[in-house]
Amino acid sequence: MRIVLISDTFPPLCTSGAVQLRDLSREFIRQDHTLTVLLPSVELKHPWQIENMDGVQVLYLRAPRTKGIDYVRRTIAEFLMPFSMLRNFRKSVLKNEKWDGVVWYAPSIFHGPLVSALKKASSCKSYLIIRDIFPEWAVDIGLIGRGLSYRIFDTIAQYQYSVADIIGVQTPGNLKYFDIWKQEPKRRVEVLQNWLADAPISKCSISLAETPLAGRKIFVYAGNMGVAQGMWVLLDLAERLHTRTDIGFLFVGRGSEVKKLVLHAEDRRLDNVLFRDEIHPDEISDLYTQCHVGMVALDPRHKSHNIPGKFLTYMQGGLPVLASINAGNDLAGMVQRENVGRVSEDGTVDTLTRLALDLIDSLDTDVNIPVRCRALYTRLFAPETAVRQITTALRDCLD
């Protein structure tokens, strides 16, 4: 099939979304599909620029800056982004290209107008890969209320859903949100698991043997540290286990809460905690060989279901998970059913401490934990499955 993929994240960015879309793109090519990726770029001096990346045709389209600015300017810029991309697409060498399917990745929720235009031009169907349900999760954790901001974002999100023929959600628990949407004829919603490809192993720039955490059993958190993650309970856990000189905590990544977390760790004099900047995705595997447990945190006020990309990296690396997540999240059932870690659903440091100690103790007796983690990754989260599912759904819609 000839597929066009729309996103606002892609390498060289190191976000989990960028890594996922890199892996998905490579798999489209491996399965003999033709893929074009459309990306906004604030760096371009001209309306468009085209490159080849691992056999993928990447078309950069000039668009407003949406990263590293305040929320108001970011919202305005994201609203304008698809219109700028469409205007510059129509100036590009691909302006007359026809595709068999349009695939796009949310976040962002703002791609709807661009998707709609490309669908009409190619008379094809579209597949929305939705990884979080915004603005619902922002309301759940108190980031916004159900006032004007919510109504604006919800209108944009609903328009995005209206131009989709198929929606792929992360977990079965998110299917119910689209019960009304799928009542329209010829609409389809399904579970599309997250995916992650095996990456070449590069030597990690972080060597724990050269840090104060050398020789300890390491709990690692690798990924975004923002308001949605509920990171503070992990810092509280580190404080509770401060006297355990055989245990250390490593936080690797970026996000809006990093500076606050670092300052609080310093104020609490937590010498069992280490923060490091984001590393290249290819270094993750080597990092995990130095660690023992992967940590996941989600704000307990979330009501939607989420299987974070970092969970996949832990399973791929054979690391059991210690998770503090919202009650009822599908991730809890998966971890417990597959016996690949421990999960707290009450948001308390007391429960998380008890589970952390239980998990650390089990590492000495349950030698098959890494095997089970790796087997779960292979069975559910390989990109081969995701590409076959997307292309099958698009063909079914055409029939």
User: Residues 7, 147: one domain?
Assistant: yes
User: Residues 226, 186: one domain?
Assistant: no
User: Residues 257, 364: one domain?
Assistant: yes
CATH of the domain at 235: 3.40.50.2000
Alpha-carbon distance 76 to 73, whole Å? 5
Find the radius of gyration of the CA atoms of the chain.
21
User: Residues 370, 223: one domain?
Assistant: yes
The number of domains in the chain is 2
User: Residues 278, 244: one domain?
Assistant: yes
Alpha-carbon distance 302 to 13, whole Å? 27
Q: Which residue has the tokens 């604006």?
A: 152
Q: pLDDT band at residue 302, thresholds of 50, 70 and 90?
A: low
Residue 227 lies in a domain: yes
Distances in whole angstroms, Cα of residue 73 to Cα of each of 78, 80, 105, 148, 290? 9, 11, 22, 16, 41
Residue 202 lies in a domain: no
Q: What sign for the dihedral angle of Cα 360, 283, 316, 328?
A: positive
- Reduce the DSSP state of residue 112 to 3 states and report it: helix
Q: pLDDT band at residue 228, thresholds of 50, 70 and 90?
A: low
Q: pLDDT band at residue 281, thresholds of 50, 70 and 90?
A: confident
Residue 172 lies in a domain: yes
Which range of residues forms the domain containing residue 354?
208-379
Highest mean pLDDT among 139-148, 326-335, 351-360: 351-360
Residue 375 lies in a domain: yes
User: Residues 249, 359: one domain?
Assistant: yes
User: Residues 159, 291: one domain?
Assistant: no
Per-residue pLDDT of 39-53, as tens digits, reads 999 999 999 999 999
Side chain identity at 125, as an amino acid letter?
Answer: K
- Reduce the DSSP state of residue 152 to 3 states and report it: helix
